[in-house]
Each structure stands twice: as structure tokens, then as C-alpha cells.
Structure 1
Amino acid sequence: MGMTRRDFMLRSAMGAGVALLSGCKTPLISEPRLMNPCATHLPPELAGHPLVMQAWEGLNPDLVWDAHVHLAGIGDSDSGIEVSRRMMSPVFPAQYVQRLFYMNAGCVHKADDSVDLSYVARIHNLMKYMPEGFRVMLFAFDRTYTPQGEPRPDATALYVPNQYARDVARTLTGRAEWVCSVHPYREDAIEALEWAQAEGARAVKWLPPAMGIDPSSPRCADFYDALVRLRLPLITHVGEELAVVGAGRPVWGNPLKLRPALDRGVTVVMAHCASIGEDIDLDKGEDGPRVESFSLFRRLMQESHYHGILYGDISAVTQRNRPDEVMQELLEREEWQDRLLFGSDYPLPGVLPLTSPVLLARSGLLDPEAVHTITELRRYNPILFDFVLKRHLSSRGQQFSKQVFETRRVFDSALQAAG
């Protein structure tokens, strides 16, 4: 059968966009394909493979929550999702390519007029092959706002309403939690937080460079106090941002800009552990030297007064644009193991070129004998793929501990109270 025009455009866009999205320079050697095949029925021989069984050994699935899962769509239902016109039009190729990536990763690239519903249906399918008790934490995503609290539709790449995230989580009874997203500059920010907490939100999601949030701004002080009062952790991007353009203020992804939140007692989860990019060392002033973002994350993790409230999630750290040295340090730091949290960053594990088990094996981080099976898992279930891959990573004999994957303790206030 010949390739359709839609497939040709998608393949071309993905081929051109791999470098754009990930900064990858090495050959695409993981698989002989660029497009996610979106298989739906995990074969029993894969589901019961020893590598998969070993990945679950010693873990209580009831405590394993994937702490970084994105909801997406184009607003072709009553979801209320909004997507920037730049992401919908090939006139703006960079952002258009990003959307095509995400659509294929979420297996909705052929959904025509039912993208929103198909994206959720895919998550339902993936959960069928995870043990009972395992849950995904589904992210809402707020609009970009001005410092005066006015929405900026021109700079909003994606909007996923809190109500929609809540409702989708409820359709996945016992398999999902939801994470609200509230911009701190909104006039109703505190009210929106209180509503979300009452409706069962487990945390708050920010992407400061894209959403137009300066985490060090005094405008955030009351918001931070509300987070502490409501016992809502803040999951926030740190380091370089490649996936969403939005307001485009990279400086706001600096890990040090979260000191005000930490100093007010907010539980902060630094997404991706600042595993890529450079930032100004603000501890040496606004004109301080530029250093690796990960070194600033490391500095904060080493400050004893942040123990118990500062965490890093390991979503995206296996992507090919992350230095091997970062992965090695995350694996080998025994004192961090109870402060690192499993997250898949779904749908990105479904972007085939971004994560290469072959290259991880060549770097000594993965047993070469595991490459084929783990790669096959991704064809059917990118979340299971990401989980099994991270359970089998090792550096100098050290692996991520069970505490990294039993993330519920950080987001379930009832467990926190019992502890």
C-alpha cells in the first residue's frame, strides 16, 4: 500500500523536527521507523516477559503514581482545550511540527474530528496493561498571563482547563489522579486553587518559561502561602524548555528562582531535575556566570533546610539530549533516592527518536540484552516502556530505588498525615 499524503507530511515533519524538539545530533539508530505504530494489544509474551516482571518486583503498585502525564487535544470536543494557531498552521513550521509530534505520540494523528476523545481513549487503553493500583497524574495547563493578571491568548501555546483534567481523571476510576494548573498572576488564583483542592487535585503544574511566570516575583508570595495551607505540591519545569514555546522566557526556568517558594515551605517538584540547559548563577547576582542548570538543581538538593520539601522528577531524563553524566549522578546518589520521583512525561515516550535504548546501552546505562524487549514495549505502551526502562537503568551497579517509583507518598495528603 502506498504512503498517504497525511503520512508523508507527518514523516517529513517528524524527520525535520527531531533536532528541533530534542537538540539531537546523533543518528536515529533506535528503531527503523520515525512514527509511533500505536499498537493497542500488548502480547502476553511481552506483558509477562521476565524484564517486565522484574520491574515490578519489590514495588507496591498502589503506591506507584506516574507523576508527569500530559493531557492534550485540539478542542474538537466540549473539553475547552485551546491550541495556539501557530501550532495548527504550517505557516509556523516549528510549532506545527511540535503538534504533529505530540499527535503521533498520543496516537491521535489519524483521529480527524475526534482528537480529544481519541487521546483519552489511548490513555484508557494503556492503563489496561498496568497493574491494579498504578495511577497516572493527569496535568491541566493554564493560559499565559501578563504581570497585571490579564490573559495573553497570543502567547498561550496550549490551554487544558482544570475542569477537563478533573473530569478525565474521574473517567479513569482508580487509575488516575489530576493535577491543576493555576497561573499565580490571575486575580482569582487563590480561589481557583481552593476549588481545585476541594475537587481532588493532587498538585499544581507550572511551566514558567512558556506560561509567563517569574517564580521569584513577589506576586507569587500569597500563592505560595496558599499552596502550603492547602498542602498542594508544585510541579514546575526547570532548565531549558524545548517542548512548548508560549511566552518564551527561558530565564524563568532557572532552578534558583524557586528559592522564594521553598523558603515559604512549599513542596516543590522540579520537573526533569533541570537535566538540560544553562542558567545564570543568581546566587552570585543577576550578572553571575552561566552554569549548567543541573548544577543549580544539585546545589539546592544539597541544602539541608530543603530536605523534605524539594524533589526532582525523572521525566525526560532518558531522552537523547540529556548528558549521560546527569543520568549517572541521578542513579548513583544514594542520598537522593527518596527525593527523586518517577514520571514518564507522556506522550513524549511515544516520540520514538527521543529516547534510544540502544544509545543508553552503548553508554553502559542499560544491559544490551534488554534493548530489544524494552524497545518492543514502546510499540504498545509508552508508559510501560518508560517505567520498565527506568527500572532497569544502572550506573556502577546502582539503580533507582523503589522509593523513586512509589511516588504516592508525596501527593497523597492522607499518607503524609499518617507518616
Structure 2
Amino acid sequence: MLANASRRRFVALLGGAAALSAAGWSSAKPVLVNKCRVAIPAVLNDSPWLKQIWDGIDPAQLWDCHVHLAGLGDGGSGIEIGPQLASPLHPLHYAQRLFYMNAGCAHDAPGKVDQAYVARLLNLCDAMPAGFKVMLFAFERFHDGRGDAHPEHSAFYVPNAWAAQLARDFPARFEWVASLHPYRADAVDRLEAAISGGARAVKWLPAAMGMDPADARCDAFYRVLARRGTPLIVHCGEEKAVEGSNTQALGNPLRLRRALDAGVRVVVAHCASLGDDVDDDGKVRRSFDLFLKLMAEPRARELLYGDISAISQRNRQPAIIRTLLERSDLHERLLHGSDYPLPGVVPLTSPAALARAGLLPRAAVHDLDILRQHNPLFFDFALKRLLRWQGHSFSPAVFATRRLFAASQA
């Protein structure tokens, strides 16, 4: 249970979220947007599909390792929104921001968006058994080769301090993940401080932040991560959500070899399940295939992992899900992550389409659709527990994620 002070703050935050719901999201068309409903309906208590999803799962070992913080910086969070997301002059990214904020049940109401987003996330967590947690991502600005920040080239910025504060305020539900650029002159000192402050991992999105994981300038950063047992979560493959350096090649999974050789435990976000990259022979191959290639290299043993966030989205190939389900030899190195708030972006995930591809029981689709309307976080977990292909499913080990992140030495 949350501490009393944290619980009081949560109730206050929920009030803000309810006000935002009344302000206008409830009138949106359900075909495209998240309805932001709250309590899971009693009819799902008898769902045979939802009854089975906790079999073999210890909630205390389940830390959703891929959860984004979002907001407008209107509640003291320090969040900043860059030009590409803030202006209708960038219509695609502007529309994406609106979908993301709806997915998190926050609305463009001055002074309330940051708190409403957190309140909704806490509400979703409260529907999960005690012990379940989410790992909140900070998000660093784009930096150039000299280590200087460029807010004008940054899609958004979520300070480490905000993620750390939320983890302190709500320790029963939140852990936090730092985001630090390795080219900064003070990168090592800031990394040491973040780990001492409870950061369970570090998150990089190279194409948006401007770091090259294969660059020697990362070596001092890697030494600290290896010494303190802190994992590095790196987005690999194509990046659709944000732009920065616009250098997609920085997300090639093979560029992580330098970190592995330094003894860093590395998590490939989304299992590099989107896009193409250049292989060692100069040929272009699926980023996912390069991820599998790297997983098989001796340097990667006991160091390289992949999170399964986003693999069930419509822009991923069903063949990738089939491969991951079949590769039970990799399940000890796969980790559950939701990529929240994206499970709340209704058009992105279709249980019916997954059922048509033979990856979900058709009879489970109705219950999953109802669950998603009330709790996208729970929905994402349930969907991945129910994924099937020719008798293969994800083993419980995929959902025992705490084992990797709890070892970060504070």
C-alpha cells in the first residue's frame, strides 16, 4: 500500500484527472481515442482469459520496464516540449502528442496535465496486485558531438529529478530510470549521482538524443554502468515517435558491442522490432535479425536482453512475434515492458488483427477490448500473456523482470 502522505497526494491528483475527463475527453469518438474509463467492470471478473494470466507469475517480480512520463511542464515537473511536438506546423508529430496525452488521460489544461498523467498511471497500477511496479523513464535532450544540449532539436525533455521524485513519493508502484548523455563533460558524475539516487537503469534513444553507442566517448560511462551493475536500455531499430539527430543508423543493434565488451548489461528496447540496419557485410537486413545475431554472440551471454514492449503494435510484423514465442531459449533474456502510454493509443494495437494472424485466441478478443477501455496497462500485460503460436507462449520468466533491475547498486 502507498504511504499515507503519498496516498493523500494521489487522491488530490485523481481529482485533477477527473476534472480533465469532465472537461472534454469523454466526448471524443471511441473509435480513435482512449475513453479513459476507470474501474474495471465486474463482468471481467468471470473472464476465463483474465483468470489465467497470473498463473505462474509473482507480481512482486513484475516490474514493467518500459513506461514513459509525459506532460507539458505545467505542474513543476520540469518537462519541456520541443517545437516538433508543440506546433501545428509539424502536423504529424503534433497529432502524435495529442494521441499520447489522450492515451495517458491528460488534457491540455494549464496547471493540471503533469499531475493528471501521474494520477491516471497510479490509478492503473492500483488495479494490479501488490508488488507490481512500473519503471518511469526520464528523457534526455539532444546533444551534439561536444556534449552541448540543443533544446531546439529535442522532441521533449523529462528531467531525472521528476522521475526520481515520483519514485520517492510512490515507492509501492514506481521505480525510475535515468536518462543521461554520455558526451557531457559531467556525464560520469551525473551518472554516479543518479545511481546513488535510486535509478534502476539508464535509457538512451540514440537517434533522438545524438549519442553513438559505438563511440569511444562512451567508455567512461560504460565503466560506471558495469561497476555498479546498472543496465542500459537502448532503443534500437527505426524510431517513429520522436526525432533528434535524425540519424537512424545510431540505433543499429550491432553498435552495442562496445558496451557489451565493457561488461555492461544492455536491454534492447522493443527487441529492435521495427526498421532495417546495415549488417557487418554491408547488406541491409531487418534490425530484428541483427538483434538476434547479437544475442547469439559470445560477448552477449548474460549481458544482452530485449524488452518486448511495442512488439504487438500494428506496425510490427506478426512473424517477429512468432519468432519470439518460438525461441524459448531466449525467454530468460526477454523482459516485459508496455511502452505506456502507447497501449492507450487505440489504433496502434488490434487484438482482432492478432487473432486473425493466429497469435491470440479469438474468444479472448472481446474481453481484451473491454479491458483496454478501462486499463491499457493491464491490457498490455494480459495480451502478451495470452499470445500463442502453435503451442508456444511467453514463459513466466519474461515477466520476472525485477531480477535484472533490482541489482543496480545504489
Q: Is TM-score (shorter-chain normalized) higher than 0.5?
A: yes
8 Å CA contact retained: 2:135, 2:175: yes
After superposition, the Cα gap between the structure-2 partners of 1:366 and 1:131, relative to the gap in structure 1 and judged at 3 Å, is: same
Aligned match of 1:19: none
Find the aligned partners of 1:364 and 1:8 in 2 and give their Cα distance: 34
Find the aligned partners of 2:25 and 2:165 in 1 and give their Cα distance: 32
Aligned match of 2:363: 369
Aligned match of 1:242: 240
Aligned match of 1:289: 283
Aligned match of 2:254: 256
Letter in 1 for 2:346: L
Aligned match of 1:147: 145
Find the aligned partners of 1:129 and 1:200 in 2 and give their Cα distance: 25
Report the 3-state secondary structure (helix = DSSP H, G, I; strand = E; otherwise coil) of the residue aligned with 2:53.
helix
| Pairwise CA distance, 1:124 | 1.0
Alignment match of 1:81 (pick from 79, 85, 100): 79
Alignment match of 1:348 (pick from 342, 346, 361): 342
8 Å CA contact retained: 1:10, 1:100: no
After superposition, the Cα gap between the structure-2 partners of 1:257 and 1:401, relative to the gap in structure 1 and judged at 3 Å, is: same
After superposition, the Cα gap between the structure-2 partners of 1:77 and 1:412, relative to the gap in structure 1 and judged at 3 Å, is: same
8 Å CA contact retained: 2:25, 2:35: no
Find the aligned partners of 1:117 and 1:253 in 2 and give their Cα distance: 32
Aligned match of 1:327: 321
Find the aligned partners of 1:270 and 1:97 in 2 and give their Cα distance: 27
Aligned match of 1:20: none
Find the aligned partners of 1:45 and 1:369 in 2 and give their Cα distance: 15
| Pairwise CA distance, 1:343 | 0.1
| Pairwise CA distance, 1:48 | 5.5
| Pairwise CA distance, 1:54 | 0.6
Report the 3-state secondary structure (helix = DSSP H, G, I; strand = E; otherwise coil) of the residue aligned with 1:66.
strand
Find the aligned partners of 1:307 and 1:43 in 2 and give their Cα distance: 44
Find the aligned partners of 1:112 and 1:46 in 2 and give their Cα distance: 36
After superposition, the Cα gap between the structure-2 partners of 1:391 and 1:139, relative to the gap in structure 1 and judged at 3 Å, is: same
Aligned match of 1:270: 268
1:101-152: per-residue Cα shift (whole Å, max 9, x none)?
Answer: 1111101135443110100000111011000000000000111111101111
Aligned match of 2:229: 231
Report the 3-state secondary structure (helix = DSSP H, G, I; strand = E; otherwise coil) of the residue aligned with 2:135.
strand
The answer to whether structure 1 residue 315 and structure 2 residue 309 are counterparts is yes
8 Å CA contact retained: 1:64, 1:134: yes
Aligned match of 1:218: 216
Alignment match of 1:54 (pick from 52, 55, 59): 52
Aligned match of 2:38: 40
After superposition, the Cα gap between the structure-2 partners of 1:269 and 1:48, relative to the gap in structure 1 and judged at 3 Å, is: farther
- Sequence identity percentage: 53
1:190-209 matched pairs, under 5 angstroms: 190-209=188-207
Report the 3-state secondary structure (helix = DSSP H, G, I; strand = E; otherwise coil) of the residue aligned with 1:149.
coil
Instruction: Could you list the structure 1 runs, at least 4 aligned residues long, displaced by more than 3 angstroms after superposition.
Output: 4-11, 110-113
1:243-300: per-residue Cα shift (whole Å, max 9, x none)?
Answer: 111221101110011110011111000000011101111x22xxx1111111100101
Aligned match of 1:337: 331
Alignment match of 1:401 (pick from 395, 401, 404): 395
8 Å CA contact retained: 1:47, 1:129: no
Letter in 1 for 2:52: Q
Aligned-residue RMSD, C-alpha:
1.9
Find the aligned partners of 2:46 and 2:258 in 1 and give their Cα distance: 47
Gap regions ≥5 residues in structure 1: 12-31
> Once structures 1 and 2 are overlaid, which stretch shifts more, 242-251 or 350-359?
242-251
After superposition, the Cα gap between the structure-2 partners of 1:250 and 1:62, relative to the gap in structure 1 and judged at 3 Å, is: same
Report the 3-state secondary structure (helix = DSSP H, G, I; strand = E; otherwise coil) of the residue aligned with 2:285.
strand
Find the aligned partners of 1:259 and 1:9 in 2 and give their Cα distance: 49
Letter in 2 for 1:276: L
Aligned length: 388
| Pairwise CA distance, 1:44 | 2.7
| Pairwise CA distance, 1:174 | 1.3
Find the aligned partners of 1:213 and 1:368 in 2 and give their Cα distance: 43
